[in-house]
Structure 1
Amino acid sequence: MTTSQVNRRSKGEKTRLKILLAAIEVIAVSGIKGTTHRAVAAKADTQLSLTTYYFKDIKELIREAITLSSKTILNSTQDEWEQVFNLLDNFDAATLRKVSVKEQVCKQLSIIAANHMYDNIINNPTSLAVEQVFFTEMLYSEELKDLADKHISSLLKPFTRFAAYFNKVDPEIDGELTVIAITRIQYKYLATPKDEVNFDELHRLIKRQISWVMGLKRQ
């Protein structure tokens, strides 16, 4: 492969990614049905012919954009989950049953979670809006339901693992209920002006949910 071929390929890949990222933004605002080649081209500030060149079928463009968004959303939580599990693994099961220990751990975990969620709300509202699509439009779309199921399953795994530290019987139920609560809290702030997002309120909501999973009385 010549240098010119590599350069052309690199430019083409950048253009393709630019189109995918624009599609994600359109999906976040307009949903699946409102995503068209023309809307994506306008958002990407590129020629319509380029979007149809790289993605001849709008369904292909939407599917690839959704797949990229899913990977980005899930990868964005890896560092926080690593902190959570590293903290929990410092204690044996007997120690984690102590109320004083659980209260201290709850405080630490609620700060980790609140900081991450606040950052998402302020700096990544597009990701939150697209994730909402996973729970609404895509679950009822025959063509995209498999992607929604895969995303939601991956999203649930760490929550179920977290719940299993405190519930050995049916942690998957606690995990799912926590996902529902957490996502609902985040989506609540999507329409809120950034300067009106109250970190302390967000922290209280998160702490209450975490304390419930940990079996603590109202925190």
Structure 2
Amino acid sequence: MLQPLTYIGRQASRSDGQARRKAILEATLKVIVAEGIRGVRHRAVATMAGVPLASTTYYFADIKELIHDALTYYAEKAMAANLALEQQSFAALGGFDATSLREPAVRRQLCDVLTGFICGHIKGQVADRDERILELAFNEEALRNPALADAIVRLDDAILSPVSGFFCQLGATESQAQAFALEVIALIRFLEFRNSVRSWMNEPECEAAVRSQLTRMLAQVAAMA
């Protein structure tokens, strides 16, 4: 179960206040996408959210609080999305195990499934440019803000743990599984950024890169079984 991250702005007790506070946080993210972190101002956010200026200053005493809580809100949504992705992937790959991986045909089948799954995920990420901008803004701001740094570590752990667990399930040692997980995540992030920057998805390049790495990893896992 996901543990809530820490917000520092004023909280709302009533449902209407919670809805307004959420609207302010979502509007802040829209401003970040449009103008960057430095474009976040109370008036700009209030205008984007369609709320009185007094609402933003009531919930957030200064801009740092507003930016912190908006990016924390983004991190919570990202963690929830990753959990859903994890559940889908394990459900789809539940039929493979360390013993079956000894067969080359099974490894190829698993590689095909994983390649399609990962490339489909990357394609979806590339299509959502706003999320990629927020992701980069979040990482940059975390270098300045220790509280956000904690949130990003927890977000990274939420991504790393299930991928590592998957390789453990296939028979890899814990250290090897973690190394594989780091490689896979690094490749995914590289391909996401590379394709996002050029505004289109080079699917053959993506598939070749993912398939090459997975083929090598699965062969190593099979050799251990």
Report the TM range for the smaller structure's normalisation. Answer: 0.7 to 0.9
- What does residue 185 of structure 2 align with? 179
Instruction: After TM superposition, give the deviation of residue 104 of structure 1 in Å.
Output: 0.6
Amino acid of the structure 1 residue aligned with 2:69: E
- Partners of 1:132 and 1:213 in 2: how far apart? 29
Structure 1 residue aligned with 2:165, among 161, 165, 185?
161
Distance in 1 of aligned mates of 2:55 and 2:174: 53
Relative to 1, partners in 2 of residues 1:139 and 1:167: Cα closer, same or farther, differing over 3 Å? farther
Alignment match of 2:19 (pick from 14, 20, 23): 14
How much does 1:145 deviate?
A: 1.4
CA RMSD of aligned residues (A): 2.7
Aligned position for 1:82: 87
Q: Distance in 1 between matches of 2:141 and 2:202?
A: 29
Identity of aligned residues (%): 28
* 1:128 aligned onto 2:159: no
Structure 1 residue runs without a partner (length 5+): 1-7
The TM-score with structure 1 as length reference comes to 0.79
Distance (Å, rounded) in 2 between the aligned partners of 1:152 and 1:84: 18
Q: CA-to-partner distance for each residue in 1:51-81, whole Å, 9 max, x for gaps?
A: 1122223222222222221121222233432
- Are the structure 2 counterparts of residues 25 and 212 from structure 1 closer, same or farther at C-alpha, using a change threshold of 3 Å? farther
Q: 1:59 to 1:128 in 2, by over 3 A?
A: same
Inter-partner Cα distance in structure 2 for 1:214 and 1:43? 48
- Residue 43, structure 1, aligned to residue 53, structure 2: no
Bigger mean CA deviation after superposition, 181-190 or 129-138: 129-138
Question: What amino acid maps onto 1:176 in structure 2?
Answer: L
Counterpart residue identity of residue 181, structure 2: G
Query: Residues of 2 paired with 1:53 and 1:156: CA distance?
Result: 37
Which residue is equivalent to 1:147? 151
- Structure 2 stretches of 5 or more lacking a match? 1-12, 221-225
- How many residues are aligned here? 206
Instruction: Please tell me whether the aligned partners of residues 122 and 191 of structure 2 are also in contact (alpha carbons under 8 angstroms).
Output: no
Structure 1 residues 97 and 132: CA distance shift in structure 2, 3 A: farther
Alignment CA distance shift 1:169-1:75 (3 Å): closer
Aligned match of 1:5: none
After TM superposition, give the deviation of residue 38 of structure 1 in Å: 3.2
| 1:84-141 CA distance string (max 9 Å, x none) | 323433133211232221111111121122222212221x322222222344431453
- 1:54 matched to 2:59? The reply is yes
Q: Is 2:108 aligned against 1:111?
A: no
For 1:3, the equivalent position in structure 2 comes to: none
Is the 1:166–1:214 Cα contact (8 Å) retained in structure 2? no
- How many angstroms apart in 2 are the aligned matches of 1:139 and 1:177? 23
What SS does the corresponding residue of 1:89 show, helix, strand or coil?
coil
Distance verdict in 2 for CA 1:77–1:95, change over 3 Å: same
Q: What TM-score do you get using the length of structure 2 for normalisation?
A: 0.77
Counterparts in 2 of 1:25 and 1:14: CA distance versus 1, 3 Å:
same
Are the counterparts in 2 of residues 80 and 113 from structure 1 also a CA contact under 8 Å?
A: no
Deviations 1:161-194 (A, max 9, x none): 123225315121221222222112112233333x
SS for the counterpart of 2:167 is: helix
